[in-house]
Structure 1
Amino acid sequence: MTSPDTTGSQRQIRFNAFDMNCVAHQSSGLWRHPDDRSDTYNTLEYWTELAKLLEKGTFDGIFIADVLGTYDVYGSSNEAAIRNGAQVPVNDPLLLVSAMALVTEHLGFGVTAGTAYEHPYPFARRLTTLDHLTKGRVGWNVVTGYLPSAARNMGHDDQLEHDDRYDHADEYLEVLYKLWEGSWEDDAVVKDRERGIFTDPAKVHEIGHQGKHFTVPGIHISEPSPQRTPVIYQAGASSRGIGFAAGNAEAIFVAAPSKEVLRGTVSKIRDALEAAGRDRYSAKIYTLLTVITDATADKAQAKLEDYLQYTSAEGALTFMSGWMGVDLSQYELDEPVGNVKSNAIQSVLTNLQAEKDLGREWTVGDLARQGAIGGLGPFIVGSGEQIADELQSWVDETDVDGFNLAYAITPGTFEDIVEHVIPILRERGVYPTEYQPGTLRQKLHGRGDRLPDEHKGASFRHRASDAPTSDGDLDAAAEPVAAQA
């Protein structure tokens, strides 16, 4: 078993910034705060300045969420979502990456894209392109979709059932692994100017995929990028989601309302990784958290009270309804959430049931209040030292690797973390002072740029032929070029 990230005897805490190409991402209503700049989400300047700030703080990366529909479960309408700016309007996450990569050297980029509505063949090229342009700093957050409105706008009555979505995603990943890992050999691109051969055709292979959902006979039309396969991110803690992550994920995002629930979730994930033939620590696990901090505890508390004036209970319940697949507008605020069947994010209900088992039953009003800042994750408040104490406690007690940090206001929340929390963690030797060289995969795991041999995707690599291409074959391939000349 590989030990967790350490420097000396101290386990290193890792940060991701959690954002979205929209206004109200997790904290409903706070776009109205005079210091919030999320309404400039549709400018490159917002993203490039944020990227530089995060790199200053040695964040592993920025994790950009996405949806392809509106939250229309609450009140059986999308009016509340539109009114509150609840992840609508929303723009494409992938188009942000090139600009942020240009102004940074090390920051990673985890971009969200679903498996339900885009064919894997063009998607493979888009991710390869970004991996080239970022010099290997791209990760893909694999989502299967959960909003019924997205399904309808793509010509379907509803999403597939929860587990069926993962079955579909399994084949989607298989196609991508074949394209990324198996289509081009490492030395296929020869750039032979004298003979006029850019690529050796004998070293580029059709993948010949024919499955239940996809038929992809040909080659990947992009040459291999620094990582070939981008770092695979996954967010899902249902039983089926954990199984999917165990086979594919290299970084896993979870959300839990308490340390007790998180400890159980992390343990299940690590057990599943081991059962899949991988190391227990072969995937970094980040939990959703929002930090509200300042120079002193009193100032941090005053900041929270200020933020609470701008939160939107309706916006929070709009989010929660979409995440749970349950119309919370039909419940009284003091009514327990109870047990309901969900075709959306099942881990939300699993966590709430776990809280109930611990003697903490949530009401609809609790969801509205807690979710108004930070969404599905808790928020913690205090001075830099108090926050550092709490973060170390979460890591020590739950075995989580780090935190996917949402914001109350942006970029203010991230600025506060960089100013007040990170220096304390660095002084204690539990947070990096500089980046390691290499690709995002190398930075996260220290085992090279490519997928490790035990990863499922590695099994799709092209195996060397018993009859390698000869120079004569290359000369023959060059003949038409010479004739045209």
Structure 2
Amino acid sequence: MPTPHLHFSAFVMNTTSHILQGLWRRPDAGQTDFNSLEHWVALAKVLERGRFDFIFFADVVGLYGDYGGSYEKYVQAGLQIPSNDPSVIASAIAYNTTDLGIAITSSVIQDHPFNFARKISTLDHATNGRIAWNIVTSALENAARNFGYDGLEEHDERYRWADEYVDVTYKLWEGSWDDGALLQDRARGLHGDFAKIHKINHVGKRYRVEGPHLVAPSPQRTPILFQAGSSTAGRDFAARHAEAQFIISPGPEQARDLIEDTRRRVVATGRKRDDLKFFQGLHFVIGSTEEEARRKEIELDEAIDLDGMVAHLSGAVGVDFGGHDLDAPLGDIGNTDGTRSIVEWVQESVSRRAGAQRPGESPGRAATVRDLGLLQGRNSRVVGTPESIADQLQRWRDAGVDGINVVNATIPGSYVEFVEHVIPVLQDRGLAQREYAPGSTRAKLFGTDLINERHPAAQYRGAFS
């Protein structure tokens, strides 16, 4: 039996500096044009030419935590500020493409589920069934305060919040309108069948939603559901709800362990193992020879804003590494629970690169703040010729990864290079699709427009009749 091909997604954000900080300063970087609709349409056409499955928009609705006691660094570096709403441009991207899926990140904190469900259904109609939703709970204190809360809810409580949020949307998407409810019968003067349109009357801890849904069923009804949490609560949530999970594992073996653990959780909910696909985040340095690839990697490292990389991680984990020289030893910057695991992670990497031989042997120099930035920049990086990159992607595929979320250094350059040089090699090896399957994005991935009957959303079909 042939190995299934990998799916590909372009990991982008409607901002200047997303994952690899500082590269917007390069003369070939077009990501400063993020306000331009033409910028995104042109990128989408490149991705569709390469038969990518998705353009995947990350998003935030608040600032990262302070760096050196302030958010000044984020502003100076363009680090996810300004950050525009990706949902606003989805229909324009769809209008200029035919098959590319459009995944939008939206947090439960930022939009009431009734309004969000209406927006997504509208977009799914406008795109002929090509919308996906990346469900997030928001881990930024500033985001919570932006929406009137005193601060973040406790971690696992945020997932319980998300459980109710998605439950409301499922009721609206799957249960509020029966099939055939939209008649548009000119002869009889009947636009809709009243008997087939229902209020949902949801009453829960956080939401009271009467309904009915104001949008008739879209091609997919429920959009494809992404999720990105890898904590225990996050894996459990993915097992219950997600159809695709975005992961960032340091290597194929670690990915295999995470995937197997999550798949066991999927089966425990009554779903099948293959009901959940896994997309690994990777960024690529491509050369016509290995020597050229290594030279380009050195140039990339020299262009990255290491202070910006440290700031991004600081905000993500809630530990302020700012106010310290890049050459300051990490171990001197507090010894809290929040920093200890990070220090150990970076020190282990420094020791491996220095070639420490045996347990108990001196690990060499102490890890510094600079090493933290370097490690973040090199995390999940694949370097080589198109052929050697294909070899490495085969190992990820063999570990159970279903797709790759391609991180960019520059836009559109990173994707043009990948489409022109790597995709043809992958296609020759059966690791990338040559043509799109027909139908909606869910039909392309799973063979059916509608979410399957094992998913919790399906329980609401006919539930309000």
Q: TM-score, normalised by structure 1?
A: 0.88
Q: Distance in 2 between matches of 1:356 and 1:199?
A: 64
Equivalent residue runs for 1:96-107 within 5 Å:
96-107=89-100
2:440 pairs with 1:445: no
1:52 CA displacement:
0.6
2:210 pairs with 1:217: yes
Which of 365, 372, 379 does residue 370 from structure 2 map onto? 365
Q: Deviations over 1:354-391 (max 9, x none)?
A: 9969x969764333012236xxx411111111111111
Equivalent residue runs for 1:381-392 within 5 Å:
381-392=383-394
Query: For residue 387 of structure 1, what is the amino acid of its counterpart?
Result: I
User: SS of 1:74's equivalent?
Assistant: coil
1:14 CA displacement:
1.6
Q: Deviations over 1:426-446 (max 9, x none)?
A: 111221111100111111112
Unpaired runs of 5+ in structure 2? 353-362
Which stretch shifts more, 43-52 or 146-155?
Answer: 146-155
Between the aligned residues of both structures, percent identity stands at 42
Equivalent residue runs for 1:60-459 within 5 Å:
60-329=53-322, 333-335=328-330, 364-372=369-377, 377-396=379-398, 398-446=399-447, 448-459=448-459
User: SS of 2:273's equivalent?
Assistant: coil
- 8 Å CA contact retained: 2:129, 2:441: yes
1:271 CA displacement:
1.2
- 8 Å CA contact retained: 2:176, 2:464: no
- 8 Å CA contact retained: 2:134, 2:225: yes
Q: Distance in 1 between matches of 2:281 and 2:173?
A: 30
Q: TM-score, normalised by structure 2?
A: 0.91
Q: Distance in 2 between matches of 1:356 and 1:286?
A: 26
Q: Distance in 2 between matches of 1:399 and 1:137?
A: 25
Q: Distance in 1 between matches of 2:167 and 2:335?
A: 35
Q: 1:275 to 1:86 in 2, by over 3 A?
A: same
Query: Aligned pairs, how many?
Result: 449
Q: 1:61 to 1:340 in 2, by over 3 A?
A: farther
Q: Distance in 2 between matches of 1:271 and 1:56?
A: 36
1:21 CA displacement:
0.2
Q: 1:83 to 1:459 in 2, by over 3 A?
A: same
Q: Deviations over 1:10-38 (max 9, x none)?
A: 23122110000000010100000110000
User: RMSD in angstroms over aligned alpha carbons?
Assistant: 2.5
- 8 Å CA contact retained: 1:370, 1:378: no
Which of 40, 44, 50 does residue 57 from structure 1 map onto? 50
Q: Distance in 1 between matches of 2:309 and 2:400?
A: 29
- 8 Å CA contact retained: 2:7, 2:404: yes
Q: 1:294 to 1:356 in 2, by over 3 A?
A: closer
Corresponding residue number in structure 2 for 1:483: none
- 8 Å CA contact retained: 1:238, 1:350: no
Which stretch shifts more, 192-201 or 333-342?
Answer: 333-342
Corresponding residue number in structure 2 for 1:479: none
1:296 CA displacement:
2.1
Q: Distance in 1 between matches of 2:343 and 2:235?
A: 14
1:158 CA displacement:
1.5
1:73 CA displacement:
3.0
Q: Distance in 1 between matches of 2:219 and 2:342?
A: 38
Q: Distance in 2 between matches of 1:263 and 1:350?
A: 22
1:349 CA displacement:
6.3
Query: For residue 394 of structure 1, what is the amino acid of its counterpart?
Result: W
Unpaired runs of 5+ in structure 1? 1-7, 466-485
User: SS of 1:232's equivalent?
Assistant: strand
Q: Deviations over 1:446-480 (max 9, x none)?
A: 2x100100001111112485xxxxxxxxxxxxxxx
Query: For residue 458 of structure 1, what is the amino acid of its counterpart?
Result: A
1:58 CA displacement:
0.8
Corresponding residue number in structure 1 for 2:11: 18
2:41 pairs with 1:40: no
Q: Deviations over 1:156-192 (max 9, x none)?
A: 2221111111111110011000100000001101111
Q: Distance in 2 between matches of 1:392 and 1:275?
A: 29
1:199 CA displacement:
0.4
- 8 Å CA contact retained: 1:12, 1:431: yes
User: SS of 2:312's equivalent?
Assistant: helix
1:295 CA displacement:
2.1
Query: For residue 330 of structure 2, what is the amino acid of its counterpart?
Result: E
1:425 CA displacement:
0.9
- 8 Å CA contact retained: 1:261, 1:351: no
1:340 CA displacement:
5.6
1:77 CA displacement:
1.5
